C-alpha cells in the first residue's frame, strides 16, 4: 500500500472529507493528526517532519498525518523530498492542495496522486507484486474508459514498484511499457520512469 498520497481539492473541507472517507476503510487502530495552513513554510514543515518520525501513540498501529496547504514555495518542496522518499511504514501521509500543478515533479514522483476514479484508486492503493499480473490485466481493460491520465499514473506507480527487480518482472514491465507507449502517443503527460526502465531491460536476458 502506498503511504504518501496527494489529493487535489477545491477546498480544505473537501480534502478532509475525502481523507475521512478513505480512513473508513482502514481496519487498524490509528492516531490522527491534522494540519491546515494557507501557507506551508519550511519552519512548519520541519515541525511536521519531527512528527513523521515519531512512532504512533501507545496502542495504535498507524499514524495518519493529513496536511492541507493553500500554497508552498519551491524551497519548502525541496525540503520535503527526503521525508517523502523515506516515509516510515507506520505512517499514512495525506497531502492536499488546490492545484497539483504547483508541485514539483520530484514531489509528484514520491506520492500517489489520488485519481477521481474509484476503481483505479483501488487498483493502485492495493497493488502488490503478488497481484501484478491481474492489475495489469485490469489496466488493459480500463484503458478503454477514457481516463488516460489516471491510467498513466497507475502505470508509473507500478513501474516504480517493480524497478527494484526489473529482470524478474520483465514480462509485466514490457506489457506496462506497451500500455505507456500507447498513452504517450495520445499525448498524455510523460514520466522519466520509462527511459530508466527501458534502458535496464536491454540488459535482461
* Least confident window among 34-38, 50-54, 58-62, 197-201: 197-201
Predicted pLDDT at 78 = 94
* The last residue of a domain, from among 86, 113, 140: 113
Asked whether 179 and 146 are in contact (CB, 8 A), the reply is no
Assess whether 16 and 78 both reside in one domain. Answer: yes
Q: What is the pLDDT of residues 114-167, one digit of tens each?
A: 755 555 566 666 666 566 677 667 666 665 555 455 566 667 667 766 766 777
- Domain count for the chain: 2
* The last residue of a domain, from among 113, 133, 163: 113
Candidates 123, 124, 128, 98; CA nearest to 111 is 124
* Least confident window among 31-40, 45-54, 84-93, 188-197: 188-197
Assess whether 46 and 102 both reside in one domain. Answer: yes
Assess whether 108 and 130 both reside in one domain. Answer: no
Assess whether 100 and 122 both reside in one domain. Answer: no
Assess whether 9 and 98 both reside in one domain. Answer: yes
Residue bearing cell 506520492: 111
Residue-number span of the structural domain to which 27 is assigned = 4-113
Assess whether 188 and 144 both reside in one domain. Answer: yes
* The last residue of a domain, from among 113, 139, 154: 113
Assess whether 64 and 130 both reside in one domain. Answer: no
Assess whether 164 and 188 both reside in one domain. Answer: yes
pLDDT reading at 190 higher than 60: no
Assess whether 81 and 167 both reside in one domain. Answer: no
Assess whether 89 and 159 both reside in one domain. Answer: no
Asked whether 95 and 7 are in contact (CB, 8 A), the reply is yes
Concatenating the DSSP letter of every residue in 2-67 gives: --EEEEE-SSHHHHHHHHHHHHTT--S-EEEEEEEEEEE-HHHHHHHHHHHTSPPPTT-SEEEEEE
Amino acid at each position: 500500500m502506498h503511504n504518501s498520497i496527494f489529493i487535489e481539492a477545491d477546498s480544505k473541507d473537501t480534502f478532509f472529507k475525502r481523507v475521512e472517507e478513505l480512513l473508513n476503510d482502514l481496519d487498524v487502530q490509528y492516531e490522527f493528526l491534522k494540519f491546515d495552513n494557507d501557507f506551508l513554510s519550511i519552519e512548519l514543515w520541519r515541525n511536521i517532519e519531527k512528527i513523521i518520525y515519531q512512532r504512533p501513540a501507545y496502542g495504535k498501529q498507524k499514524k495518519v498525518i493529513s496536511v492541507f496547504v493553500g500554497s508552498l514555495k519551491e524551497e519548502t518542496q525541496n525540503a520535503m523530498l527526503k521525508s517523502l522518499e523515506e516515509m516510515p511504514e507506520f505512517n499514512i501521509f495525506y497531502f492536499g492542495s488546490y492545484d497539483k500543478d504547483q508541485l514539483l515533479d520530484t514531489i509528484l514522483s514520491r506520492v500517489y496522486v489520488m485519481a477521481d476514479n474509484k476503481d483505479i484508486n483501488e487498483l493502485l492503493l492495493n497493488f502488490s507484486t503478488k497481484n501484478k499480473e491481474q492489475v495489469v490485466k485490469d489496466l488493459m481493460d480500463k484503458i478503454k474508459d477514457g481516463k488516460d491520465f489516471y491510467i498513466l499514473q497507475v502505470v508509473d506507480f507500478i513501474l516504480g514498484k517493480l524497478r527494484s527487480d526489473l529482470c524478474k518482472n520483465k514480462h509485466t514491465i514490457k506489457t506496462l511499457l506497451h500500455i505507456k507507449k500507447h498513452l504517450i502517443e495520445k499525448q498524455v503527460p510523460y514520466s522519466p520512469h520509462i527511459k530508466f526502465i527501458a534502458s535496464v531491460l536491454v540488459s535482461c536476458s
